[in-house]
Amino acid sequence: MWHDARLLNNLANALFGAVLLVLIASGVWWVIQRPVFTLQSIRVEATGEQGLHHVSALTVRNAALPKIRGNFFTANLDAVRAAFESVPWVRKASVQREWPNKLRVTLEEHVVMGTWGDQGKLISVKGDVFTANLAEAEDDADLVALSGPDGSEREVLAQYTELKSRFQQIHLAPVAVSYSNRYAWSVKLDNGMQVELGRVQDADTIRQRVDRLMAVYPQLVNSLQDSIESVDMRYPNGLALRSSHSAMTKKQTKASGKT
């Protein structure tokens, strides 16, 4: 008899606890659904001192806000972040709640470096490929044309940076760098000259070929002035060039195949 009473008492306590939890949950749900917690404003600011040049209030309103659901408590911050990161020019967004009905969104914009491939995409200084208005990008900087297989974006950007540094020594600059599907490199310089650098055989391949070109470039300019159209550096012991004054001029110390 005593055991039955104890069992009933335990069941009553459990039932009371369950009802209490339901009441608390209902109360909490009722509270968080009050109008005071409806999102009233979303404050957008820039990361650091860079500022926002392309993300405007109109852009945010049209692209991000319609995707945001819920109130101060129920809004999914990951979904809010993804909504802002879907806006053109936004590289990264972070979101915080501000009591009782606000969100603070911190945005980092892409800083454009150039175009990527032939599909109208852009590439940033950090190697991120993104889609945005090309005219706006052209207002920001002189765009270099980069291209390569999918997944090679950062490798191509690093190679461009290296080539830019090296060609500065002869007062030239790359305006286009291409990495083909056969893993061969080529660069177009701001004097209109196309340079074929070929495939990388080791860590020093491209550097050595560029150094060989720079070593003879002053002589080539003295001989051919501004008529050089292309230079092929894939010969281990020389080069081949094309100028507007002749169909093909070849300079090699000894015959060898291209790579």
Two tokens, residue 52: 């926002």
Alpha-carbon gap, residue 125 to 144, rounded angstroms: 11
**How large is the C-alpha radius of gyration of the chain?**
31
Give the pLDDT confidence score for residue 132 in this predicted structure: 92
> Residue 52: is it exposed, middle or buried by C-beta count within 10 angstroms (0-12/13-18/19+)?
middle
Ranges of the chain whose pLDDT falls below 50: 27-28, 30-32, 34, 36, 247-256
Alpha-carbon gap, residue 233 to 208, rounded angstroms: 10
Q: Are 115 and 143 contacting, i.e. CB atoms less than 8 angstroms apart? A: yes
The pTM is what? 0.80
Alpha-carbon gap, residue 179 to 151, rounded angstroms: 11
Give the pLDDT confidence score for residue 36 in this predicted structure: 46
Nearest Cα to 178, choosing from 154, 161, 162, 160? 160
Q: Are 107 and 46 contacting, i.e. CB atoms less than 8 angstroms apart? A: yes
